[in-house]
Structure 1
């Protein structure tokens, strides 16, 4: 008979992922052990292995859940009926808001992909491409010249925006001289003003 899932399965799973992300972020993917992750999660090793059979499985689920939540939040924040300038600002703010309590998850995403199997990496890349397309579609509306086949600049410009957003965790401090909302304004303004001159 198949083992039934506990009522708090998803809650415990989320707690394990959060704890594992913290351990991986502080110790690195190679040095972190399942025993350390179990201890940090306040669960037994046996229970941890019930949820995740290996570190690789943990890393994959940390990245996958982080990106799926980000993608869903961006989709919800986007307002296709609004002007593209407004849409971009809403989407940038949502990315930074999703990063608010996800520094560890984000760091695992940035440095942990090398631990993934080819099929896992393919699934992660599918989600990443979907997120990138959401932004590139709006940036194309702001400057159609970016999508020129002879000089294709839409992807470089889109990835430049992600360059500004994805490394915020390296320098941003809550309660510092600039808020997330302030930085969303700065990043959006840089894109909106700079994109006009890109040819």
Structure 2
């Protein structure tokens, strides 16, 4: 007879992923042992196998969970907005909030994907491409009056992600720049450039 799953099975499975994210972000996937993850969770190593078959399975589940969750949140935020600029701001706010809310988990997305095997990497890239394509379409919608090549608009999207992806490295939530201010700063910098007359937060106009 198959073993019956506990009612909190999915919660415990996610708890293991969160614990692993902290260790993967702090010391790297290759340097983290299953024993380390078990200790972080306060369980025996053997207990991990009831939820995940291997360390690679933990990494894959973690990355898939987070990137699918991020893609869903981005889609929901964009659909709730109306004008292209509002959609772009909603996209940015969603990214910033996630990078600040769960920095370790987002850091794993950025730095540890290279440890996935080829089939796992392929499936993750498909979801990642969905997020990138969302950004590409948004950027195109901001300037319907001009034709931008796919190569150029993709480069613009990657430059945009360059402003958001490394927030966990330097941003301190306890600092003077609040998440909403940071989201606005990124959006305005991308949309208008630092030469825009009403560029926010950075400082006051010198008369």
Q: Normalising by structure 1, report the TM-score.
A: 0.91
1:35 corresponding residue in structure 2:
35
Identify unmatched segments of 5+ residues in structure 1. Answer: 195-199
1:111 corresponding residue in structure 2:
111
- Distance in 2 (alpha carbons) for counterparts of 1:92 and 1:191: 10
1:197 corresponding residue in structure 2:
none
- Distance in 2 (alpha carbons) for counterparts of 1:81 and 1:61: 30
- How far the C-alpha of 1:79 sits from its partner, in A, is 3.1
Count of residues paired in the alignment: 192
8 A contact 2:34–2:45 mirrored in 1: yes
2:180 corresponding residue in structure 1:
181
- Distance in 2 (alpha carbons) for counterparts of 1:11 and 1:30: 25
- Distance in 2 (alpha carbons) for counterparts of 1:124 and 1:7: 28
- Distance in 2 (alpha carbons) for counterparts of 1:112 and 1:172: 20
Identify unmatched segments of 5+ residues in structure 2. Answer: 194-207
Residue-by-residue CA offset, 1:89-128 (whole Å, 9 max, x unaligned): 0111011112222111112111211211111001110110
2:170 corresponding residue in structure 1:
171
SS of the residue corresponding to residue 6 of structure 1 reads coil
- Cα 1:146–1:14 shift into 2, 3 Å: farther
Give the superposed CA RMSD: 1.5
- How far the C-alpha of 1:173 sits from its partner, in A, is 0.4
- Distance in 2 (alpha carbons) for counterparts of 1:22 and 1:146: 43
2:149 corresponding residue in structure 1:
148
- How far the C-alpha of 1:85 sits from its partner, in A, is 0.6
- Distance in 2 (alpha carbons) for counterparts of 1:15 and 1:122: 25
- How far the C-alpha of 1:169 sits from its partner, in A, is 0.7
- Distance in 1 (alpha carbons) for counterparts of 2:52 and 2:80: 39
Q: Normalising by structure 2, report the TM-score.
A: 0.88
Q: Is 2:67 the partner of 1:95?
A: no
1:78 corresponding residue in structure 2:
78
1:121 corresponding residue in structure 2:
121
